[in-house]
Amino acid sequence: MKIGLVQLNPIIGDFYYNCTKIELWSIKAKEAGCDLVIFPELVVSGYPPQDLLERKSFLTEHDSAVESLLKDLPDLDVMFGCFEKRKGEKGKKLYNSAVVARKGEIIFRARKQLLPSYDVFDETRYFQAGEKTEFYTIEDMTFAVTVCEDVWSHDVEIYDVDPVEDLFQTVIRKKNPVDAIINISASPFQREKEATRKAIFEKICRRYSSPFLYCNQVGGQDSLIFDGRSMVLDTAGEIVALAHGFQEDLIVVDTSTWKGDTHGAIEVSPFQQVYDGLVMGVRDYVQKCGFSSVVLGLSGGIDSALTAVIAVDALGADNVLGVALPSQYSSDDSLEDAKQLAENLGCSFKTVPITPLFGGFQESLAPLFDGLDDDLTEQNLQARIRGNLLMALSNKFGHLLLTTGNKSEMAVGYCTLYGDMSGGLAVISDVPKQLVYELSGYVNRDGERIPVRTISKAPTAELKPDQKDQDDLPPYELLDQILELHLEQGEGEKEIIARGYEKAVVHDVLRRVRLNEYKRKQAPMGLKVTSKAFGYGRRFPNVQNYRG
């Protein structure tokens, strides 16, 4: 028989849109000769629906959508993810389920057993863990069906249950062989995660001598990026079918040979993956929020340049406005580089000098600041003037304002509240500075899009004469190493110093991270590409006195 795997890009809460897509892709799978088509986790509602699950109207409309969908599906088995109401007074009121529709009825269901509650996940807030399920059968084939996290028990040590092992213990007892394992997922992207996924899937295939079918969600949802990359592996753990990354796709596998479609490259550059994810994340966030165009400040620096390229690739050059906002401290080189970038990309470019406005602020504040030296106050004033002007353009022309700060700056507070942090989406706020350089090199792989001088010159905010980032910060290479150890690997000051890093530098970096939590809580939403991003997956108090 033939099985189709469809990775969809749903919109949370748009039941008609999502169900229409399920129906249309099911028809395509039927036309391709499939007897079974598989869709991702919670595809009817979109993932993650979060506290919408606490609204009775949301639950009611979801169930109505499922009822209508069952009537409209073509004549083949359709497996999809949805939530189901649970009976019983104690416990959560919902299950996260994989169901199979056949001839207008649900003939099989498997309920998610492992409910993640770490990082960006909070499923125990809404769902009750399912019990062990029976096997799904179609024609003469038997499948073990799991939902996303159910196959991650080997990698995530917090679980004392292994749903896959439990299923195969049942196989041993009943002497009823399983032909393959199916896993429907909404598994977010992050750097190097695919290697982890592949290792888990391969281990399962070899341990149980079973093919493995993995169907993942695709698309951007708030800060999360879902890469798709749905795949089928044979009993040896080798990929025999693979979908594209970061776009909707259908792949078909023939179970008589366990061979199928390979649309995506098995080995993909990590820079390409991150870049493609950011492009998709921007496109989906902007368009799903009802915008069609964006505006951003172009300083002539590498961060705003990379953000502009991502925006152009996501939305088209006609939908991107770049604005230079020079002050008396801006160099001619910076303005030239900003203009050259816009010309290279083909996007609109405007210049709005801020020197007169800055002078007006200084004049108004002079009586209050009399006798006081210039300091960060005057630097922040310039950033806030720029933020106000960019927001005015956003309001007037209906553009979404993109901020351009990177993760290294966000971590240590090298950014200005209500200034360069103003905006609707922080595109590269989870991209460390060194990765910004690497992605810029990737962008220029076939020719100069980002001006070479923008990449080669020393980073500077240009908020005072002869300013350089490294006047106030450690070299970015060193800073990023310390930040990765602290933010992503969870190491404290003593542990990092024990690795050989200078005590004073580590102390200062971690002090800045701690003191600037309040800034990050007020920052625009950013796109997650590392294992630990700032945002709702990071839950630290603003007010605390722990120094470890």
The residues that are catalytic are: 41, 112, 148
Q: How far apart are the first and last CA of the chain?
A: 58
Q: Where are the alpha helices (DSSP H) in 161-245?
A: 163-174, 193-208
Q: Where are the beta strands (DSSP E) in 112-179?
A: 136-138, 141-147
| C-alpha Rg value of the chain to the nearest Å | 26
Question: Among all chains, which residue has been given the structure tokens 């259908």?
Answer: 250
Task: Report d(CA 80, CA 82) in Å as an integer.
Answer: 7
Residue 77: helix, strand or coil by DSSP? strand
Q: Where are the beta strands (DSSP E) in 276-347?
A: 294-297, 320-324
Taken as a whole, the chain contains a residue count of 548
Task: Report d(CA 178, CA 209) in Å as an integer.
Answer: 9
C-alpha distances out from residue 54 to 50, 224, 239, Å: 8, 21, 39
Q: Where are the alpha helices (DSSP H) in 143-297?
A: 163-174, 193-208, 270-288
- If one counts every other C-beta atom within 10 angstroms of the C-beta of residue 381, the result is 20
C-alpha distances out from residue 64 to 19, 52, 61, 404, Å: 11, 16, 5, 42
| Residue pair 74/26 in contact by the 8 Å Cβ criterion | yes
Bridge-based pairing state of the strands 94-102 and 105-111: antiparallel
C-alpha distances out from residue 351 to 339, 359, 528, Å: 9, 18, 31
